[in-house]
C-alpha cells in the first residue's frame, strides 16, 4: 500500500514537471508535451496565461488530494466508529460555493484580456491573406501589388534534408514575412472549412468559405516556423502544412522584388482562369 502511494505521488509531480517545461523547438517533436517556443507577443502571453493556470490547477489538485487523505484517515470506520449525523453546515456550503466562483473570476479576467489582445491589431503595417484549399494553402500580399502564389507539401521522395527540409512540414513555396512588423492576417477558405494553426505564433483560426476571419502576428525572431491545418477537411487533411520564413525587413523587400518576377506567370494564368470561368457562366 505504501509503495503504491509513493509511486502515485511521484507520478503526479513528475507529470507536472514534464508538462510545465515545453520543448525548445520551432517544429513539433516526437513525444513533445509542452508548447513550442513563442515567436510573437501573442504566444508569449498565451504561455504566461498557461503557466498562471498551472499554478492554480496545481494548488487546487494538491488541496483536494490532501483533503481526501485527511478524510480517509480522520473519518474511516476504525478511527470514527460512531459517525456524525450532521447533514448540513451553512458556513461550509457558503465557502465551497464562493471559493470556486472567486477562482473562476481570477481566471476569467486575464482570459478575456488575452482574447481581445489576440483578436486584431489596430493600424497594421501590412496585410496578408491566407486561403485554404483542398489540400494546400494560397497566399496573397495585397500591399505588394497583389502578389499571390500557392504552397504544396513536398512529397516524401523529394525531401532534401541537406536544405533543412522536413517531412510533412516543408512546402515548395514558403510564406515569407518580415520581423518586427504588425501583420494583419486574413483567413478564408475556397471549398470546405479549414483551420490555420501556427503554434509558435499562438494562432489557431478557422478558415470558412464565404467568410473572412482576422488575426495578427508580430514575429520577433527570424527563422522558419511551421503550421498545419487543424480542421478535418478531407482525405488529405494531414498533408497541407504551412512553412513560414521570417526575415529582416531588408531581406523581405528584396524577396518581394524576386517574388513579383517569380510568380508573375502564375498570377497571369490565374487571372485568365478566372476570366474564363466567368465567361462560362454566361
Domains of the chain by residue range: 2-20+33-81+88-119, 126-281
Q: What local confidence, expressed as pLDDT, does residue 9 receive?
A: 53
Q: What local confidence, expressed as pLDDT, does residue 265 receive?
A: 59
Q: Using alpha carbons only, how large is the chain's radius of gyration in Å? A: 26
CA distance 240 to 228: 6
CA distance 197 to 23: 18
Q: 2-20+33-81+88-119 and 126-281: same fold?
A: no
Q: 260 in helix, strand or coil?
A: helix
CA distance 30 to 23: 10
Cell of 57: 490547477
Q: What local confidence, expressed as pLDDT, does residue 253 receive?
A: 94
Backbone φ and ψ for 246, nearest 5 degrees, come out as: -95, 125
Domain 126-281 matching CATH 2.60.40.420: the answer reads: yes
C-alpha torsion angle, residues 246, 249, 250, 253 (rounded to 10): 90
CA distance 265 to 231: 32
Domain 2-20+33-81+88-119 matching CATH 1.10.287.90: the answer reads: yes
What share of the chain has pLDDT > 70, as a percent?
84
Pairing relationship of beta strands 126-133 and 136-141 according to DSSP bridges: antiparallel
Which parts of the chain have pLDDT scores under 50? 1-2, 8, 12-24, 267-269, 271-282
Q: What local confidence, expressed as pLDDT, does residue 275 receive?
A: 42
Among 13, 58, 257, which Cα is nearest to 141's? 257
Amino acid at each position: 500500500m505504501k509503495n503504491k502511494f509513493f509511486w502515485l505521488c511521484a507520478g503526479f509531480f513528475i507529470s507536472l514537471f514534464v508538462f510545465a517545461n515545453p520543448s525548445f523547438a520551432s517544429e513539433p517533436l516526437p513525444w513533445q508535451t509542452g508548447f513550442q517556443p513563442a515567436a510573437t507577443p501573442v504566444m508569449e502571453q498565451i504561455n504566461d496565461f498557461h503557466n498562471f493556470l498551472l499554478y492554480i490547477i496545481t494548488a487546487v489538485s494538491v488541496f483536494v488530494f490532501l483533503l481526501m487523505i485527511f478524510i480517509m484517515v480522520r473519518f474511516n470506520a476504525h478511527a470514527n466508529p460512531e459517525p456524525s449525523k450532521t447533514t448540513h453546515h451553512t458556513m461550509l456550503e457558503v465557502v465551497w460555493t464562493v471559493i470556486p466562483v472567486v477562482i473562476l473570476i481570477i481566471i476569467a479576467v486575464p482570459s478575456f484580456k488575452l482574447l481581445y489582445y489576440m483578436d486584431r491589431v489596430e493600424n497594421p503595417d501590412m496585410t496578408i491573406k491566407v486561403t485554404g484549399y483542398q489540400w494546400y494553402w494560397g497566399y496573397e500580399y495585397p500591399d505588394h501589388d497583389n502578389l499571390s502564389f500557392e504552397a504544396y507539401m513536398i512529397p516524401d521522395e523529394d525531401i532534401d534534408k541537406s536544405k533543412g527540409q522536413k517531412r510533412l512540414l516543408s512546402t515548395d513555396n514558403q510564406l515569407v514575412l518580415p520581423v518586427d512588423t504588425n501583420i494583419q492576417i486574413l483567413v478564408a477558405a475556397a471549398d470546405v472549412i479549414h483551420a490555420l494553426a501556427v503554434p509558435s505564433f499562438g494562432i489557431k483560426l478557422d478558415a470558412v468559405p464565404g467568410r473572412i476571419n482576422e488575426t495578427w502576428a508580430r514575429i520577433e525572431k527570424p527563422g522558419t516556423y511551421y503550421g498545419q491545418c487543424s480542421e478535418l477537411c478531407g482525405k488529405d487533411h494531414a498533408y497541407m502544412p504551412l512553412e513560414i520564413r521570417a526575415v529582416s525587413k531588408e531581406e523581405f523587400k528584396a524577396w518581394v522584388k524576386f517574388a513579383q518576377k517569380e510568380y508573375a506567370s502564375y498570377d497571369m494564368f490565374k487571372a485568365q482562369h478566372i476570366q474564363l470561368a466567368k465567361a462560362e457562366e454566361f
